[in-house]
Amino acid sequence: MLNMDYSLLTDYYEKLEAVSSKLKKTEILSELFKKTPTGELGDAVLLLSGRVFPSFSQLELGVAKQMMIKAISKASGFSQDEVEEKFKKTGDLGLAAEQCFGSRKQTTLLKKKLTISSVFENLKKLPFISGEGSQEKKLQLISELLVSSKAKEAKYIVRTVLGELRVGVAEGLIRDAIVSAFLLEKGMPKEKKNEITDVVDYSWNLLSDYGQIAVIAKEKGIEGLKKVKVQLGNPIQVMLAEKAESIKEVIEKYGKIAIETKYDGMRAQIHKKKNQIWVYTRRLEDVTKQFPDLVELCQKSLKADECIVEGEVLAIDKKTNTPMPFQMLSQRVQRKYDIDEMSKQIPIQMNLFDILYLDGKMLFDKPLIERRKILEKQVKIIPKKFQLAKNLVTDDLKKAEKFYKEALAERQEGAMIKVLNSQYVFGRHVDGWIKIKPVMETLDLVVVGATWGEGTRANWLTSYLLACRDAKSGKLLEVGMMSTGLSEEEYKMMTSALKPLVREEKGRTVKVSPKIVIEVKYQEIQKSPTYESGFALRFPALGKIRFDKGLEDVDTIERVKKLYESQGRAG
């Protein structure tokens, strides 16, 4: 079979949607992966994730619900009002499309059988349609797909385009299904299965694209995955730091350490391939377009033909030439228009702290102290613009504490302590990196709802429903409402970020997809029957909007409980 019918993929979507068991979902995915032709496997994996491009891509399909309503109307013969009425009743434009195409008012002789490839290739064109008449061209392209769709196919095309697939397939399930479909043998002991899963995780850490990984696993097996190397332009999963109470305990444990300034900025992973530069955030979002000044600095200052380096980008006050808080830089991260003007308004400074790849060689296994020396040789310093992170190697507690205090005096977050012989380990697995910050507890929470303001703030979302995370189930648990601590600019920024995420609207209240993480200050934690978590924050206020963090960084209910108990009021 050269091309798989899209209808077969939609059959599997329905199977996945009908079950909640992760084990059962993995079985369904594994069965589908085995059936899918190699040439379409990568596309199918992305589509099952509800995407057309890998998660790190900046490309967006750029289709709003109103345009989709027009496309459904055009292809089915139902009026826009009729489509909207079905949407209101179902709350799901995909279901509305399914109803329309199940009893469509018009048929066409141009109907073609849809395959995974034909759907995928058409959807891939959407981000590249721009300029005069672009909306009409997008409308035409989607309508052409829908015209050839059966009712069920229309439902899932609509959901895919809107980023609302709703079949419950997370990255972990795709990984397990790849292992099950292509790498496991009958009777294989558990230890061997764990080894195989570790290899798949390793390849994911390097490529960040399960579509590619599935194809390699099918064609070349476990040995092929072991040989996976960095691909410039595919971001690497980053190493994360553990927390420690004091510098003293770290020095007592490790002796001589490297202490670096922990900047109040955006962590950036930079890929260079000759003159081409990619810039990724800590969450592996492509922000290259938002930072043309950083791209230019990298082209001038990175000596290697090919490399991957990491550092912190700071916003700089152009009048005083001093660092500004991360909040200022957030405006640039989110900006899609007038980027050059924003670059002039909020200039940046780059402070590099690591190198992970150099001219064809991966450096993860080299000790930190050696990676630092390699980095120093590859950077042409431009003082106060493109430089190395401040760094001190010492086992002297007084010198380390002085360094830390100086970092705080410079209005930075604190210090990073790094073990000299530590390798670069993806994720938060080891204590090779330890962060030291002032003891002033905050919580990283995700916004799950919001309320429109009143009066002069009627056009802004001004109150935010916050949630923590249950580490075992992944469920989000509400823990309070926050409406203070924001400037006018921050209200605008939050509204701009949340509006595209609105899933449901009732009066002035909206429910939003959980994507925006914020650092929250509070006076105390109280027990509360109002929220599902069982707790409520008293006087929560905004610390920072953390566009650099994702759901995996949201604090757990366990941490909320510990903080509550540490107040001396357990029970």
Is the CB of residue 342 less than 8 Å from the CB of residue 351? no
Q: What DSSP line would sit under 207-224, residue for residue?
A: H--HHHHHHHHHHHHHHH
Residue 229, amino acid: K
**Helix (H) / strand (E) containing 357:** strand 348-358
> Of 445, 421, 424, 419, whose CA–CA distance to 546 is shortest?
445
Amino acid at 547: F
Give me the residue label for tokens 């002796």: 255
Query: At 365, phi and psi to the nearest 5?
Result: -80, -10
Write the secondary structure of 397-438 as one string of H (helix), E (strand) and C (coil): HHHHHHHHHHHHHCCCCEEEEEECCCCCCCECCCCCEEEECC
| Catalytic annotation, pick one of 74, 262, 272, 418 | 262
Helix (H) or strand (E) holding 445: strand 443-452
CB contact set of 565 (below 8 Å; sequence gap of 6+): none
Helix, strand and coil content of the chain, in percent to the nearest 5, comes to 45, 20, 35
Task: For tokens 């109307």, name the residue.
Answer: 73
105: three-class secondary structure by DSSP: coil
Query: Which pair of structure tokens corresponds to residue 348?
Result: 């940046």
Helix then strand count (H, E) for the chain reads 20, 21
494 conformational bin, left if phi > 0, alpha if psi -120 to 50, beta if neither = alpha
Q: Does residue 127 contact residue 61 with C-beta atoms inside 8 Å?
A: yes
**Cα–Cα distance for residue pair 177/172, rounded to 1 Å:** 9
Phi, psi (degrees; rounded to nearest 5) at 419: -75, 130
- Host H or E run for residue 267: strand 266-273
Calpha distance 283→546 (Å, rounded): 11
DSSP 390: P
3-state secondary structure of 276: strand
Residue 155 is among the residues annotated as catalytic for this protein? no
Q: Which amino acid is at 304?
A: A
Would you call 121 helix, strand, or coil by DSSP? Answer: helix
Say how many residues make up the chain: 571
* Rounded alpha-carbon distances, angstroms, from residue 332 to 52, 206, 321, 401, 544: 26, 27, 18, 33, 15
Taking a C-beta distance cutoff of 8 angstroms, is the pair 262, 407 a contact?
Answer: yes
* DSSP, residue by residue, 225-275: HHT----TTSPPPPB-PEE-S-HHHHHHHHSSEEEEEE-SSEEEEEEEETT
Active site residues: 262
